[in-house]
Amino acid sequence: MMRRKLVAGNWKMHGLKADLGEVRAIAAAVPAEVDAALCVPFTLIAGAADAAGALPIGAQDVHQSDKGAHTGCISAAMLVEAGALLTIVGHSERRADQHETDAQVKAKAEAAQKAGLRVILCIGETLEERDAGLAEQVVTGQVAASLPDGASADWLALAYEPVWAIGTGRTPTEADVAAMHGAIRAKLRELIGDEAERVQILYGGSVNGSNAVALLGCEDVDGALVGGASLTAEKFVPIIEAAASLSR
């Protein structure tokens, strides 16, 4: 099954209006063979959506409730109104810093879908879990517990991001990446049958212009979720180009 590659940037808590020029430059450089997206801070969504043309702009989190007394939180309808077409849910930094559980991540994904957003749902093991030989068990457990009801490739992608590879410059071996992505797909098959073949499974964690071809060329890797190297066109476009070169 030939799945299109998706390269998504995660700007995390970076980006002011002065950086919208990077959004424009990135948007102008996406070849037809690949899908790309940029998940920016809430405050930049509207401006980035205006600047981005055909490049989808997304958020990095969404609240699971439609509305209510949740100070500081953002609903899916608010994201849509601001111009977002997608959102990340369950990033390991939120699972760690905001103590988000699999059940909350699942509810967030379902709320996003209900409002018409696409979803990138993140999973990944810590170094302690990998060293203890538990990586596959932890990650497939996260898939089972956080996969939204009605999960479909029409609106859902997964991102495997080993916590120890995020922002560290360290990456798993290609064999480890392929093995984990295979295990994730097998778990998806158990849960949603043939639809599993259509779901994009992205790799994330220290992806850059130099390692992108190797990582995105691994079996069952359908794209990348990129943090630090997505902040400028100079760093991000080579990753998008790498994905495109594998799709030609």
Select from 109, 220, 209, 141 the least CA-distant residue to 174: 220
The two structure tokens encoding residue 61: 């989190």
**For ligand PGA, which stretch binds (CB under 6 A), given 23-31, 50-58, 76-84, 198-206?**
198-206
Which segments of 50-199 are extended strands (E)? 57-59, 86-89, 118-123, 156-160
Q: With 0-12 CB in 10 A as exposed, 13-18 as middle and 19+ as buried, what is 63?
A: buried
- Closest to ligand PGA by CB, 152 vs 168, is 168
Asked if residue 148 binds ligand PGA (CB under 6 A), the reply is no
DSSP string, 5-20: PEEEEE-TT---GGGH
- Closest to ligand PGA by CB, 56 vs 204, is 204
Minimum distance from residue 225 beta carbon to ligand PGA (Å): 5
Asked if residue 226 binds ligand PGA (CB under 6 A), the reply is yes
Tell me which residues are annotated as active site: 91, 161
Among 15, 58, 162, 205, binds ligand PGA (CB under 6 A): 205
Of residues 154 through 183, those in contact with ligand PGA by CB under 6 A are 161, 166-167
| DSSP 8-state symbol, 218 | S
Minimum distance from residue 93 beta carbon to ligand PGA (Å): 7
Asked if residue 10 binds ligand PGA (CB under 6 A), the reply is yes
H or E segment and range at residue 176: helix 174-192
Among 207, 215, 233, 244, binds ligand PGA (CB under 6 A): 207
Site string for ligand PGA, 24-43 (x = CB under 6 A): --------------------
Cβ atoms 83, 49 nearer than 8 A: yes
What does the alpha-carbon distance between residue 248 and residue 136 come to, in Å, rounded to a whole number? 32
Minimum distance from residue 224 beta carbon to ligand PGA (Å): 8
Chain contacts with ligand PGA (rule: CB under 6 A): 10, 161, 166-167, 204-207, 225-229
